[in-house]
Chain A
Amino acid sequence: MTDIHVAHTERGIGVVTPVGRLTMVVTRQLTEAITGLVDGGTSKVVVDLGETTFLDSSGLGALIAGLKRCRQAGGDLRLARPTEQVTTVLSLTNLDRVLRPRASVAEAF
C-alpha cells in the first residue's frame, strides 16, 4: 500500500519519499530507510512528504527518531512539501518548530 523510496541528490543529500499513508503499518520501513542512509554515510536527509497522504503519531515518532540519528551523525533531518493533513499534525503536536517543513526538497539544505 505505502512505498518508501530512497534516493540521493547530486549534492549527496538523502531523500526519503513515503508514497501513501505513513502510519504504524510502515513506521519500521521509514526507520530502516533513514537508518540505512545514516549508516551508509549520508547524515543530511530530507523526508519528502509531497506524496504522503496521511501521517499519524507513530510516523511522527519515526521522524523524531530519524532526526536524532541524523544529528548524532553530524547531519540533520528536514521535511519538505507537507500536505494539509501533515501540516495539521505537526501543528497540533507542537513539532512544526522542531521539524520545520520546507516548500521543496531543494530548499531543505
Chain B
Amino acid sequence: MGDVHSVHLVLEAVPEQVDTLQDEIAQLWESVPSVSTTDRVRFEMALVEIFANIVEHSVRHHPGPPLRQVAIQLDVSPGLVEARFADDGRPVGLDLSDVTMPPPDAEDGRGLALTIAAVDALAYEREGDINRWTVTCRRNG
C-alpha cells in the first residue's frame, strides 16, 4: 500500500455536497500532483455525475428518512485512480450496458453515459441494502 494515496469521505446525500466533494478532489490533486490534467478532468467528471445520480435517484425518491449518507473512498496508485461509493439508498434499477447517450435536444439523462464515456470502467452492484459504485481510470500520465 506504500504507493497508494487514499482519502475517505462521508457526505450527506444532498446537492450542495457536490461542492464539498469537488473541494476534496482538488485537495487530493495537491497531495498527488503527478496525476495528469486529462485524468483529473475525467475522474472529477465521473465522481460528480455518480454523486449527483445517487442524490437524484437513490435518495430523493426514497421513501425513508430524507437525509442519507454517501461514503466515498478515493485511491490514487501509480497506475490507477479509483473511487468507491457506498450508499444505502434504494436499488438502482438499470443495467449499465443499456446506458446510451440521449439525443442532443434531451434536457437530462446524460450523467451515466458521460461517466462511461469519460472513464475506463464503471461498475455498480447492490450488496444487501447498500449500493456500490466503482469508478476506475487508468492513469495516462
Contact = CB atoms under 8 A, between A and B. Distances in A.
A106 interface: no
Contact of A57 (B41, B105, B114): B114
Contact of B105 (A24, A54, A68, A97): A68
A60 B105 contact: no
Q: Give the interface size bracket for B toward A.
A: 20 to 34
Interface residues of A, number: 25
Interface SS majority for chain B = helix
Contact of B110 (A1, A68, A85, A93): A93
B41 A84 contact: yes
Interface of B: 15-16, 18-19, 22, 37, 41-42, 44-45, 48-49, 52, 55-56, 101, 104-108, 110-111, 113-114, 117-118
Interface of A: 1, 21, 23-25, 54, 56-58, 60-62, 64-65, 68, 84-85, 88-89, 92-95, 97-98
